[in-house]
Structure 1
């Protein structure tokens, strides 16, 4: 049983990445575009362009979430997203109370840790990262094979 679960790990990780990326992108889309109920705390509106830190957070959420959803630059994007959620938790939520249940910071805390996991695990299956890495590996193997092939004159 463990062997089957281990072999399915890249696929489970890929699905995890896609769901986390989609949910994160939805938060950004709500804040920037007013869809899906709009920005939290604005009665369905959007955040003002350039407003610190809300607008920048929403851009990170929309762009970063979309990139993570597709598995493109997963580790770097997840690092940035994790940091932005840590910042949101400690500057917005944590001053209100110690525990996330008390300060409304469950979502930022969960996103922070989920993205930190992706920093260390990568995109898993179904990610564009894997396709690009595979292509780079194939090209490098071809160059190495070409360098070892004797040249006839």
Structure 2
């Protein structure tokens, strides 16, 4: 049985984190779109009225936060807000029904909460717009200095 060298695993880490961030952001934004616009299978319990607490705000956080995380734009703060919204959802909606997520229907909220917290702590990984935008001003500055 061969073991993958640590250097190989370490070099793949940003790509695995980036791909995971993209998948998590996409799935989360789909929840928001379904709730706000009654698409992708529709909203469970109907679409909330604009500015109705907490359903409409949660759906906006899901859609906007999910897209930001998906793109890797303002990733850490967006992921932290998404994580907090899912912690709030779990404890204010699901926890009162039963102790364990499998019993109270809060598995998705708990998983999204921890996944977004991990993204907020580790950063966006590869394929993030933040990294692309951070490099661009330096390239523009260098080009104008040499001209």
TM-score, normalised to structure 2, is 0.89
Task: Tell me, in whole angstroms, the C-alpha distance in 2 between the residues paired with 1:48 and 1:101.
Answer: 29
Aligned residues: 139
Indicate the residue corresponding to 1:123 in structure 2.
124
Q: Distance in 1 between matches of 2:54 and 2:25?
A: 20
Give ranges in structure 1 of 5+ residues lacking alignment.
147-153
Measure, in 1, the Cα distance between the counterparts of 2:51 and 2:43.
15
Correspondent of 1:32 among 36, 49, 52: 36
When Rg is computed on C-alpha atoms for both structures, the one with the higher figure is 1
Match of 1:18 in 2: 22
Q: CA RMSD in A?
A: 1.6
Task: Give the equivalent residue in structure 2 for 1:109.
Answer: 110
Once superposed, which parts of structure 1, at least 4 consecutive aligned residues long, lie more than 4 Å away?
Answer: none
Write the mapping of 1:64-143 to structure 2, written as runs, cut at 5 A: 64-136=65-137, 138=138
Displacement of 1:135 = 3.0
TM-score normalised according to structure 1 size: 0.86
Alignment correspondent of 1:62:
63
Provide the secondary structure at the position in 1 that maps to 2:90: helix
